[in-house]
Chain A
């Protein structure tokens, strides 16, 4: 169903997607850099990590808005409100608790009415069935110095096939470089 077969990482617009795994933040920043307009990153106030503007892709720090919430309800409300607003370009949210089907569905409806794409950064297995797609992201040791290798696996897709990709992407790069499994000894791609 994906109209652009050459770009496997394109998220279907005006829908909610999910990313899990150790490398989900890289995936989030990769996707945020590809979407235009203001980016909203909604996270709990007690979260230990903050995005470091010095390392983000070019143009992203100026568009980034960090929203800090005190409770899970506030976080979901902010995400819904932001998705529903037309000017938001891309919405990232980090819920702490598993997303219920109701919450997922509400976010999905908000994204549709606002025409905004959203990405939920979830813990493993804490996603909602209402999601459009779910990505498992993990960093992989690079074969040589200067590469930043990632393995992004599409584990759920409502409108298409699943997939498993190895790629090399630094925040400076405009587009990722897909790698072959042969280039990385010790890593086997799932044949999906």
Chain B
């Protein structure tokens, strides 16, 4: 069976996507900054009727059309709009790929009869685009190159096997070749594709490169050109619409239970577990309330997730009632299927994760920390505090003679001969006298890191026992003479 390719070109995708977000009056254009000046990136039909064109400098455009409304182009939003259209076009074919920045290519081989033939398919497509107020030109041909060229030159449907017979009048620029090559071909008098086909191949390749012949062969179907459809990332979201608005907490909890079961089944099918869940409740007056929870580890067990929503649900103002609920998992992680028969160890891990989830949803997940070993001799940097829900315990070296508690260094009001700890000093409202001191242990700053706390240079650490009892860790900075308390042994 001959392949049939559908190409859709959206000549005004960026401006129309922007206008859908927020409408504007009069001629409208998106501008893109290139080099030192703004240029028109995408125009609407009104602006085109005024004689403006794509790529024109904004200053010139303003001179021609003073009441032009412009907005800066958002290439990211344009790409998102196209990927949304790509998902929509999956209704016509399972294989849909992007074709340039404003086009789609779909393989509709053996699909068209489902829509009642190719004409009906194109008509259906155009009707839907019209309803969405999007300009789109579609073309169906045997090869992707031909469909691409036709979509950008009027569109239409080419019956099978007619590429080399019917499309020879198209300009060479329709071959997806770069601008320079097209101009060079023009100068050589080869303006139409038909002229190219008639030429001997070897001189063409020598003069214009192999790329031109590849594009020509792809256009004519002598060289295969597969589509590269993107893999669909599964979206984890479920919704429920209610015939009557609900207002009771127990009703919302029951609806949530149903949503959770569906969502968790979908997560299980994709071997994933949720890390964050968001519940959106749409009220009758169109306002939306949201409840969001985090999970201390990937999870897809409705019975364990539902209680975590309880505190958030009790805060929700139902107003005149809630008539639609939507549950999404914005953040998911891989979670392999596990056996149902849990060992005591796994049950313990689950219960610990539940506890971390409960704490994290009230205090914030960054408030539950776990120390992790770090490779540094500087005391403050010899460990990291990482959120416990997003880390695993590390392997710790054997303990050394270090204080139990570490504080941000406190300056000490004390005088001493350089080098040895002061005989007495004041600390937390008491005067302490030194009984014995062990040291010094010199630690040099890590010069490759600029730590403001270590600007005073090398430190000599002393273990100081006092007559009053407290055992402290003091340090002296010989390069900027001062004493500080770094930590406490007891």
Residues of B362-401 whose CB lies within 8 A of A = 362-363, 367-371, 373, 379, 382-383, 385, 388, 393-396, 398-401
A110 to chain B minimum Cβ distance, whole angstroms, is 12
Q: Which residues of B contact A54 (CB under 8 A)?
A: 379, 382-383, 399-400, 402
Q: Which residues of A contact B393 (CB under 8 A)?
A: 62-63
Q: Check A53 against B469 for contact (C-beta < 8 Å).
A: no
Instruction: State in angstroms the CA–CA spacing of A70 and B371 once bound together.
Output: 20
Q: Check B371 against A64 for contact (C-beta < 8 Å).
A: yes
| Interface of A: prevailing SS | mixed
Residues of A29-83 whose CB lies within 8 A of B = 29, 38, 45, 48-58, 61-70, 74, 77-78, 81-82
Interface size of B by Cβ–Cβ distance < 8 Å? 51
Q: Check B406 against A49 for contact (C-beta < 8 Å).
A: yes
Binds B, one of A5-13, A127-135, A137-145, A153-161: A137-145
Known: A23-B490, A55-B403, A150-B490. A65 touches B388 (CB 8 A): yes
Q: Check B398 against A58 for contact (C-beta < 8 Å).
A: yes
Q: Is A86 an interface residue when CB atoms closer than 8 A count as contact?
A: yes
B404 to chain A minimum Cβ distance, whole angstroms, is 5
Between-chain CB contacts (< 8 Å), 10 pairs: A29-B404, A48-B410, A49-B407, A53-B383, A54-B399, A64-B371, A66-B385, A87-B348, A141-B468, A150-B490
Instruction: State in angstroms the CA–CA spacing of A22 and B352 once bound together.
Output: 32
Known: A82-B355, A87-B352. A26 touches B404 (CB 8 A): yes
Q: Check B435 against A141 for contact (C-beta < 8 Å).
A: yes
Instruction: State in angstroms the CA–CA spacing of A58 and B370 once bound together.
Output: 16
| Interface of B: prevailing SS | mixed
Q: Is B54 an interface residue when CB atoms closer than 8 A count as contact?
A: no
Q: Which residues of B contact A38 (CB under 8 A)?
A: 352
Q: Is A148 an interface residue when CB atoms closer than 8 A count as contact?
A: yes
Q: Check A25 against B404 for contact (C-beta < 8 Å).
A: yes
Q: Check B359 against A66 for contact (C-beta < 8 Å).
A: no
B9 to chain A minimum Cβ distance, whole angstroms, is 56
Q: Check B490 against A66 for contact (C-beta < 8 Å).
A: no
Residues of B447-490 whose CB lies within 8 A of A = 465-471, 487-490
Q: Check A67 against B371 for contact (C-beta < 8 Å).
A: no
14 more contacts with CB within 8 A, not counting A66-B370, A69-B367, are: A50-B405, A54-B379, A58-B396, A61-B373, A61-B383, A62-B393, A64-B370, A66-B385, A67-B367, A68-B363, A81-B359, A139-B470, A145-B438, A148-B471
